[in-house]
Structure 1
Amino acid sequence: MIVTGLLLGAVLGFVLQRGRFCVTGAFRDVFVTRNTRWLTAFLIVVAVQSVGIFALTAAGAIHPVNKDLPILAVVVGGFVFGFAIVMAGGCATGTYYRAGEGLVGSWLALLTYAGSSAMMKTGLLKPFNDGVRSVTVPVRTIYETLGVSPWVLVVVLVGAVAMAAHHHLSKPKRVVATLPPRRSGLDHVLFEKSWHPFVTALLIGAIAIAAWPLSTATGRNDGLGITTPSSNLVNLLVTGQPKYLDWGTLLVVGLLVGSFLAAKGSGEFRVRVPSAQIAVRSVVGGVLMGVGASLAGGCTIGNAMVQTAQFTYQGWIAFAFMLLGTGAAAKVFIMGHRPAEQVRPGTPAAEKAQASVTTGV
């Protein structure tokens, strides 16, 4: 049954690559170009998954378990992770799918991210990680604190995200010159046509929902996750112990497979070697990603996408501090090195900057 992790991971990697779904770009856009289109797409994933999680829980198909909030680790780890993803050029999933495209910088970031997360979870830095995460406060979910049904928060979230999506969809569409399609039918849709961010978000939301029962069926009581599976993959390769081979481990392997197939099929696969400066930044960013995600208890997927969908304090606090960390790094590495007109919303230079941030070019 754990092979479903590989299959679902391949589908997710394919969708992420073809949809150019970059969480780092979504977060950076908020600060660099003051644009929330991709952040709205990210929140669509959270809202869709939230409906699915609580529906599956009500049906008795899954049984999510929430723990006390490790407040210090979540705050520090979330900020460090948010800062690191700008340095690395992508968050956990972004690094995986860009590695599948042939970006050597993402290979470096991925290796160091997985390695440092393994050190934090099972290696030399485990005592430090456990020590910081031991500082907890006895709160778990927002709806428990408010004394309301989780469906109240689901309705509020879905409504707010629907309004944000409508805001962006109602804007006048820009006419962009494009070349005539070279493919037709399903081949055109899968490998050539640009995917709308909100359509991609709906697909990822559906994948995130499917992850819960598929993972639960193998004894892993969780949904999508990247950091612990990456750590387990390193431990599996180093020790050969079968206990590290589970649904999540195959999920992250599937991400590489799916993104590679998508990049090859669309003609976007190309081995690209970064400059020495970018390579060093990718390595440092990858290390900090592993440290930050391990402290916070998850990355932009495990925390900002999955835990938020469950309305846990850990998820939403980590999400907030990841955004703050991304904003701080954007100010250091992006906004501080661009002329003023490149960061003013609405200018052609700002639009070009937004495109480069979103695509990771």
Structure 2
Amino acid sequence: MAAVTAGVTPGFILSGLIIGMLLGFILQRGQFCMNSAFRDTIFMKDFTMFRSYLIALVIMIIGANILEDIGTIVLKRQTFYPLANIVGGYIFGIGMVLAEGCGSGIIYRTGEGLLYAWVAVFCFLTSVGATTNGILNPVLMFLKKESFSFSLSGRPNAALWQLIGEGPAIKWFVISVLSFIILLYILRGRPFSAKRREGFSWPLTGVLVGVMGVIAFWASQFWGGGFARGLSFATPTGELFLTVLNGNAESRFFPMFSLGPFQTTWAVFFIVGVPLGSFASAKMLGKFKWRVPAARQLVTIMGGSIMMGFGAVLAGGCNVGQALTGFATLSVGSIVATAAIIAGNWTMVYFKFIKPARG
């Protein structure tokens, strides 16, 4: 467990809350959900939201690595656990289709008054807690044994460019090639002529999410105890759950601070801010409305949310924690987990939507 470093400061609380609220506002305005981004590519042949995700990703890759190279932040790349990354990511991808939203999607939609999202978040919370510190923890510990880690180029947490070589020149060559390929694909969607709508356009949403991701890397290190953890939803959700349940976030890796009798992390305030920002946006647009799902739909959502919580912890992060924040560090483990999340999503989309439609 991480040591408690000090008492909270106003910057610690406000930076987490403000970044969470701004992100929640952006997610609601842009209806940004990575379940939709991945699902729509094969179900509806619509690549709009996927391109929005890619805009955010390329901004975070470039921004985070610039901040690292100028010494502003230190990026912590995840250890590569092939079994955990693949199995956890795949289960998460399946779960996000059943839950009708990704980890960030179900949380920001609580601010829109969707009761299914509240149920989904509760099940997600419970599953994250059970995997991190409860009945499912033995599975996590087994698949993340040191003997199951995999070293590439002599490193257990290798970055993509280190598969080729070392040094800033090779690093930025890889980033440049990857970013160029992504940008070419984005430009095929004609982002500069995207139609305006009630909320944010898909290009603007991608830009804003990416910028918030870079800011979160900096703010979490500057105010959050010296660890640039960036944006994530699974681990912070578990930390919030444990803080409320027993007064201790019980973080193994991230700095904890004392707040009266509580031991908490920067990300707890961030995760609280997301639905608040979403609520503000929904109210301003007149989109806030309490809506109750059908009982059968609710059961499926509960099952999917439980799968998401378990899969996210096992994979080392959720759709945002791995497919944006982790990928931005170019960690091989995060890239593999992202591929597994997409594969799981596509698998369930096929069995839930495409196969029934074909009869």
TM-score bracket, normalised by the shorter chain, equals 0.7 to 0.9
TM-score (normalizing by structure 1):
0.86
Letter in 1 for 2:228: N
Q: Aligned pair 1:33/2:44, yes or no?
A: yes
Q: Give the secondary structure class of the aligned counterpart of 1:30.
A: helix
Q: Aligned pair 1:228/2:235, yes or no?
A: yes
> Equivalent residue for 2:339?
320
Taking the TM superposition and a 5 Å limit, the aligned residue runs for 1:152-191 are 152-169=173-190
d(CA) in 1 for partners of 2:201, 2:182: 16
d(CA) in 1 for partners of 2:357, 2:301: 20
1:213 to 199, 218, 239: 218
d(CA) in 2 for partners of 1:329, 1:133: 26
Which segment drifts farther, 4-13 or 233-242?
233-242
Q: Aligned pair 1:204/2:200, yes or no?
A: no
Q: Aligned pair 1:250/2:269, yes or no?
A: yes
- With over 3 angstroms needed to count, the CA separation of the structure-2 counterparts of 1:239 and 1:321, relative to structure 1, is same
Letter in 1 for 2:335: W
Which segment drifts farther, 278-287 or 236-245?
236-245
1:142 to 152, 156, 160: 160
Q: Superposition RMSD on alpha carbons, in Å?
A: 1.8
2:329 to 287, 292, 310: 310
> Equivalent residue for 1:115?
126
- With over 3 angstroms needed to count, the CA separation of the structure-2 counterparts of 1:198 and 1:35, relative to structure 1, is same
Q: Aligned pair 1:42/2:48, yes or no?
A: no
Letter in 2 for 1:136: S
- With over 3 angstroms needed to count, the CA separation of the structure-2 counterparts of 1:171 and 1:257, relative to structure 1, is closer
Q: Give the secondary structure class of the aligned counterpart of 2:38.
A: helix
Q: CA deviation at 1:158?
A: 1.9
TM-score (normalizing by structure 2):
0.86
d(CA) in 1 for partners of 2:263, 2:314: 20
Which segment drifts farther, 306-315 or 83-92?
306-315
> Equivalent residue for 2:8?
none
Letter in 1 for 2:283: K
d(CA) in 2 for partners of 1:125, 1:212: 30
Q: CA deviation at 1:165?
A: 1.7
Alignment deviations for residues 263-284 of structure 1 (CA, whole Å, 9 cap, x no partner): 1111111111000111001111
Aligned length: 324
Q: Aligned pair 1:59/2:70, yes or no?
A: yes
2:311 to 264, 274, 292: 292
Q: For the Cα contact (< 8 Å) 1:141–1:311, is it kept in 2? A: yes
Letter in 1 for 2:330: F
d(CA) in 2 for partners of 1:87, 1:44: 26
d(CA) in 1 for partners of 2:37, 2:142: 32
d(CA) in 2 for partners of 1:47, 1:94: 21
d(CA) in 2 for partners of 1:172, 1:50: 25
> Equivalent residue for 2:3?
none
d(CA) in 2 for partners of 1:12, 1:259: 8
d(CA) in 2 for partners of 1:157, 1:45: 14
Q: Aligned pair 1:2/2:12, yes or no?
A: yes
- With over 3 angstroms needed to count, the CA separation of the structure-2 counterparts of 1:172 and 1:15, relative to structure 1, is closer
Q: For the Cα contact (< 8 Å) 2:219–2:228, is it kept in 1? A: no
Q: For the Cα contact (< 8 Å) 2:24–2:278, is it kept in 1? A: yes
Alignment deviations for residues 200-236 of structure 1 (CA, whole Å, 9 cap, x no partner): 1001100000001110122133111111100011101
Structure 2 unpaired stretches of 5+: 1-10, 153-157, 249-257
Q: Give the secondary structure class of the aligned counterpart of 1:168.
A: coil
d(CA) in 1 for partners of 2:356, 2:192: 30
d(CA) in 1 for partners of 2:66, 2:313: 29
Q: Give the secondary structure class of the aligned counterpart of 2:348.
A: helix
Q: CA deviation at 1:335?
A: 1.6
- With over 3 angstroms needed to count, the CA separation of the structure-2 counterparts of 1:124 and 1:143, relative to structure 1, is same
Q: Give the secondary structure class of the aligned counterpart of 1:109.
A: helix
Identity of aligned residues (%): 29
Letter in 1 for 2:268: T
Letter in 2 for 1:159: F
d(CA) in 2 for partners of 1:136, 1:71: 7
Q: For the Cα contact (< 8 Å) 1:80–1:325, is it kept in 2? A: yes
d(CA) in 1 for partners of 2:263, 2:298: 29
Which segment drifts farther, 31-40 or 95-104?
31-40
Letter in 1 for 2:247: G
Q: Aligned pair 1:151/2:172, yes or no?
A: yes
1:105 to 97, 116, 119: 116
Q: For the Cα contact (< 8 Å) 2:56–2:206, is it kept in 1? A: yes
